[in-house]
Amino acid sequence: MKIENDTLFLAGIYMKTTMKAWFQYRIDAVLRSIAVFLRESTGIIVIYFTLLQFDTLSGWNMSEMFFLFSLLFLTYGIMILFFTGLRDFGGMVRSGNFDRFLLRPRGLLFQLIFVDADWFAAIGQGGLGIVLFILSAGKVGIEWNIETIIYYVLAVAGGVLIQGAIFLILATLNIYLLQTDSLKELTYHNFRKFAGYPINIFHKAIQLIMIYVVPFAFVNYFPAQYLLRKPGAEEYSEIFFYLTPVVGSIWYLAAYLFWRISIRWYKSSGN
């Protein structure tokens, strides 16, 4: 119990210190958070004007598309608070800065999770997710009750774990490859762009990748389909609509085991 309390206390200290560092210059912090919000909003604005012309996209109206996007932005906003260190892990390995973590009497993954948090991205993207949820949640026909609220919370948690697992796998690959930025762009950022849309509009190969390889479909599409039951839902097994927390837990456990095995082979870059 004492060890757990010490760990929680240390995590709190890490987070407090990180927050102070990011918000040292408050006006700059506010402006940079707003900049992230506006940057990510450009895609939403495109969708807005597109749907003004065409009314729906594969049967999804504007409010339903906003709800789909809200899950994507909200889960990323939460995820990046804990996994910024993994996002930037490649730079630590190449610069040799990761070596100093090896000398500290705490778990390596614990340090990477709590050593930094991209508050600007968290506020900008998470805030956009909250705004989109507020704009859409009351207009999409969802009956919000205990069941749907619990489902939504579990779906958000699962979406956070799925993206965190992808970051952990990509971070671990730096142990072997040193440079994985192009792989990250290909496997994470590109498929995250696809995830903003109903996956049934894409080629079957893209759908299979987003379900079984880079499972962004479980971050927002299947949870949204459980709540909305839009056209295209019948193309997939209904069990997919319930699996987001399971997929998130399994993926994160697998990523964690990959990390534990791979870290034994870590060698300093020598820089």
Rounded CA separation 230/233 (Å): 6
Mean pLDDT of 105-117: 81
* 251: Cβ contacts below 8 Å, ≥ 6 apart: 161, 162, 165, 166, 215
List of residues 6+ apart from 124 with CB closer than 8 A = 32, 33, 34, 35, 36, 37, 39, 40, 77
Which burial class, exposed, middle or buried, applies to 195 when counting CB atoms under 10 A from its CB (0-12, 13-18, 19+)? buried
Confidence of residue 5 (pLDDT cuts 50, 70, 90): low
With residue 237 as reference, give the H or E element that holds it.
none
Question: Residue 50's pLDDT is what?
Answer: 84
Rounded Cα gap, residues 40 and 188, in angstroms: 16
User: pLDDT confidence of 214, banded at 50, 70, 90?
Assistant: very high
- Alpha helices by DSSP H, listed for the chain, are 2-22, 26-54, 62-87, 89-95, 99-102, 108-114, 119-136, 146-177, 181-184, 190-194, 204-208, 221-228, 244-262
What CA–CA distance (Å, rounded) separates 118 from 167?
A: 14
Q: What is the pTM of this model?
A: 0.89
CB 241 within 8 A of CB 222: yes
pLDDT number for residue 3: 47
Give the per-residue pLDDT at 107.
79
φ, ψ for residue 253, nearest 5 deg: -65, -45
Confidence band of 271 (pLDDT split at 50, 70, 90)? low
Band of the pLDDT at 177, cuts 50, 70, 90? confident
When pLDDT is averaged across residues 211-235 and rounded to a whole number, the result is 92
